[in-house]
Amino acid sequence: MSAALTLEGVHTHIGRYHILQGVDFDAPAGRTTMLLGRNGAGKTTTLRTVMGLWRASKGRIALGTTPLQILRASDVARLGVGYAPETMALFSDLSVKENLVLGARSGPLDDARLAWIFSYFPALKTFWLSRAGALSGGQKQMLSIARAIVEPRQLLLIDEPTKGLAPAIVGSLIACLNEIKATGVTILMVEQNFRVAREVGDEVRVMDNGRIVHRGPMAELAADEDLQNRLLGLSLDSHQ
């Protein structure tokens, strides 16, 4: 199984804070890798560093054989990397349609893909011409993810997509992510909800204090409660 994304000894400083302290892991091609860990472990920083939004101060990041650590975010995106941040980062004054138009960088919106997205997130069709800022929290999350997948991607970086979503929508999201995965897209996803992580993830990487402290198949972690407690602590139970 080849690695779509590889991080080797990645360090990231934000101001005077040393957040990532030598992150090493890979995300296998065509599979969904969950990045888990306690708050402040460095998960979001890892995604942002891969995306080029924060510059790695040391180490190597590669998409296939292409080094990413020297590229700016726009160049990383042009390689086919989609990003749905934790903050959603929607353009509130733009409509749902306009947000998706900007997500489709390489050309006009594809009707078939749009219909596919609507089948999972029908609210986006309902509020197609509404301001993104007027959507509910869950609808904003849908739009953020839809914008990341409005074009075919090679790699998807998704940060806590289920935050604020109603359970029914979480089900749609899981189905949607599984279908995206079936098309061969590599997904690296940060998720606090272990139930979702278990359903979506093929692989898992656990972070603590800016380092990877566990790597392996998701099924293995899901089946081992002791390992879960040791790696993720009691906080995990509250998410199950």
Partner 1 sequence: MSALDVGQALPRRRMEVLPALTPLLVALVAAPFIGSLSTFVTLTAAGLAMGMMIFTMASGLTLVFGMMDVLNFGHGAFIALGAYAASLVLLPLANWSSADSFWANLAVFILAALAAAVISGAFGFVFERLIVKPVYGQHLKQILATIGGAIIAEQLLYALFGPAQIPLTLPRTFEGSFVFGDAAIEKYRVLATLVGLAVFAGEMLVLNRTRIGLLVRAGVENREMVEALGYRVDRLFVAVFMAGSALAGLGGAMMALYRGQAHGSMGGEFLVLCFIVIIIGGLGSVGGSFIASILVALIANYAGFLVPKLALVSNILAMVVVLLWRPRGLYPVSGR
Binding site for partner 1 (CB under 8 A): 51-53, 72-74, 77-78, 83, 85, 89, 91-95, 97-98, 101-103, 105, 108-111, 114-115, 118, 125-131, 133-134, 147
Output 47 or 204, the one with its CB closest to partner 1.
Answer: 47
User: How many Å separate Cα 216 from the centre of its chain?
Assistant: 18
Q: For residues 27 and 34, what is the distance between their CA atoms, to the nearest angstrom?
A: 9
Q: How far is the CB of 134 from partner 1 (least distance, A)?
A: 8
C-beta of residue 85 within 8 angstroms of C-beta of residue 159: yes
Q: Looking at beta carbons only, is 30 or 80 nearer to partner 1? A: 80
**Rounded to whole angstroms, how far apart are CA atoms 220 and 56?**
31
Smaller CB distance to partner 1: residue 111 or 226?
111
CB of 195 to partner 1, least distance (A): 28
Shortest reach from residue 13's CB to partner 1, in Å: 17
CB of 124 to partner 1, least distance (A): 9
CB 67 within 8 A of CB 60: yes
**Distance between CA atoms of 118 and 30, rounded to whole angstroms?**
23
Euclidean distance between CA atoms 96 and 117, whole angstroms: 13
Measured between alpha carbons, how far is residue 97 from residues 28, 130, 153 in Å?
33, 8, 19
CB of 97 or CB of 215, closer to partner 1:
97
Q: Which is nearer to partner 1, 109 or 213 (CB)?
A: 109
Tokens 């914008």, located at residue: 147
Residues facing residue 17 across a β-bridge: 14
Neighbour-count burial of 42, counting CB atoms closer than 10 A to its CB (0-12 exposed, 13-18 middle, 19+ buried)? buried
Q: Tell me whether residue 38 or residue 131 sits nearer to partner 1 (CB atom).
A: 131
Task: State in angstroms the smallest separation of the CB of 68 from partner 1.
Answer: 13
CB of 224 to partner 1, least distance (A): 36
